Structures are given as C-alpha cells and as structure tokens.
Amino acid sequence: MTWNRRQVAAGAVVGTLAAVGAHLLGVQQLLRRPDLALYLPAAIFGALVGSTRLRPLLWVPAGVIAAICIAVAYTPVVSALSRSYVRADTLPPHVDAIAVLSMGITPDGMMRSETLDRLLTGLLLARRGLAPVVLVSREGLASGEKSVTDSADQKAVVELTTTGARVIFVDSVVTTRTEALLMSNIARPNGWRTLAVVTSPMHSRRACATFEAVGFKVFCVPAAVRGSGLYAGANAEDRLRAFRAWLYETFATASYKSRGWIR
C-alpha cells in the first residue's frame, strides 16, 4: 500500500510538471483561454494513472515535453524554425497609412509588452515621415462583470511622442482578420491603399498576407520586440518565448489558410 501511495504521488508530480512544461512551450495559449490553469487536472490525471499499467500515458508525453524544453532552451533551433514566418519588406519613401497591430491586454487595462513594442515602432516610422496617418488597434477584455480596454494606456504613450501624424484608434479588435477588415473599412473611404503593417516578427507573414487578402498593398515591418529570442546570443527564457510564438503561428497560419483568409 505504501508503494502504491508513492506511485500515486509520483504520478501527480509528473503530471503537474508535464503541465508546467506544456504551458512553458505555449500549448495552453492554443486554447485561447489565458485564465485557464491545467495544473490541477494534470495532477489528478497523473495520480489516477501513476500506479496503473496506463502509466506510459503519463511518462511518454512528459518525456517528450521535457526533451523539447531542453532542445529549445539550449539550442538556436527556434531561430531556424521561425525564418519562414518572418517577413520584412523594403519600405518606399511614403505610404498612405501605418497599421499598428495589437498583441493582448492585461486584466488591469494595460498593453502587453509586445503591443507596446509594436506601437513604438509604428510611431517611430510616423515620426520619420513614412505616413500621415497611424491606425492603432485597441483591444477589450471582459473581466468579471466589467470590461477593460487598453485605450488609456495607448493614448498616454501616443501623447508622449511628437510624430506630426494623425492617430486613429480602431476598436473592437479580436483577431488579425478583424483588424484587417476594420482598418479596411476606415481606409477605403479615404482612398488609402498602401499600408505599412507593423507587428511582431513571427506574426509578420500571416498578418501581412491577411491585409493583402482584403485589398491593401502591404509593406511588412517587423517591430523591434525586446527579448524576441530570434537574435544571436538569446537566453533560454527568450528562446522559449520565441517557441511559444512559433507554435501559435504554426496553428494560426494553418487555420487562416483553411478558412481561405490567406493563401
């Protein structure tokens, strides 16, 4: 009986650690439920199968997850994997507008760090005179009984800069597809056809293809993302962050192609 208890405890620990590793690799974000924690269900599953003949159902995936974590953290494999997703176009002297895409919002209404990186890159391009207009995506989030938005945070950053460009905030953004459609609705009546699309490096190819599919002539601009993990000498934390982005883009690109939103 004591041995069975040890097996149950070991199964619970392995299940929990497997869930932690999967979360670290970005498996959970594929569910698009950032508030969902799978540690307890994984621990219960591990405890149930840990002392039975079904324990390979626990140890095999845990071993695979551990091996992937080691490979990503200690090698530049993610840089090689990411190349097909990064698109950087040569910019012309002038475009009609700059589109800055969003990358999440915190429960307290602040921009995620990648959203800030994208916004700063877009404002810098505007300050250099690339376009007279900057379209900036805004996100909203339902938090309990209230809704929060990053509008105040974005406005504060924009007010700190002097670009000479007109900034238009685009609300109700949910996906890259909705960003393209909403910005197209604004651009079409104004005759804006050429667009510099600013987004994170790993997101750039899918994002720009999505905007091209709704009728824009697009010039893709990967933002200067801090800790992207795609540069020489990146540490383990940044490489794991890059792997999460790669994993998400792999599934998102396949989904967009299957829906006919991109080629």
Mean pLDDT of the chain: 90
Q: Which of 212, 225, 241, 5 is nearest to 121 (CA)?
A: 225
Q: What is the pLDDT of residue 3?
A: 52
Q: Which of 201, 180, 182, 197 is nearest to 249 (CA)?
A: 201
Q: What is the pLDDT of residue 233?
A: 82
* 15: helix, strand or coil: helix
Report, as ranges of residue numbers, the positions in the chain whose pLDDT lies below 70.
Answer: 1-3, 33-35, 143-144
β-bridge partners, 217: 194
Q: Where are the domains of the chain?
A: 2-74, 86-229
Q: What is the pLDDT of residue 193?
A: 96
The CATH architecture of the domain made up of 86-229 is 3-Layer(aba) Sandwich (3.40)
Q: What is the pLDDT of residue 163?
A: 84
Q: Sign of the CA dihedral 236, 241, 242, 246?
A: positive
Q: What is the pLDDT of residue 231?
A: 83
Q: What is the pLDDT of residue 144?
A: 64
Distance separating alpha carbons of residues 112 and 8, to the nearest angstrom: 39
Q: What is the DSSP string of 148-188?
A: EESHHHHHHHHHT----SEEEEEEEE-SHHHHHHHHHHHHH
Q: What is the pLDDT of residue 254?
A: 96
* 166: helix, strand or coil: strand
115-168 pLDDT, tens digit per residue, is 999 999 999 999 999 999 999 998 887 766 778 888 889 999 999 888 889 999
Q: What is the pLDDT of residue 1?
A: 42
Q: What is the pLDDT of residue 104?
A: 83
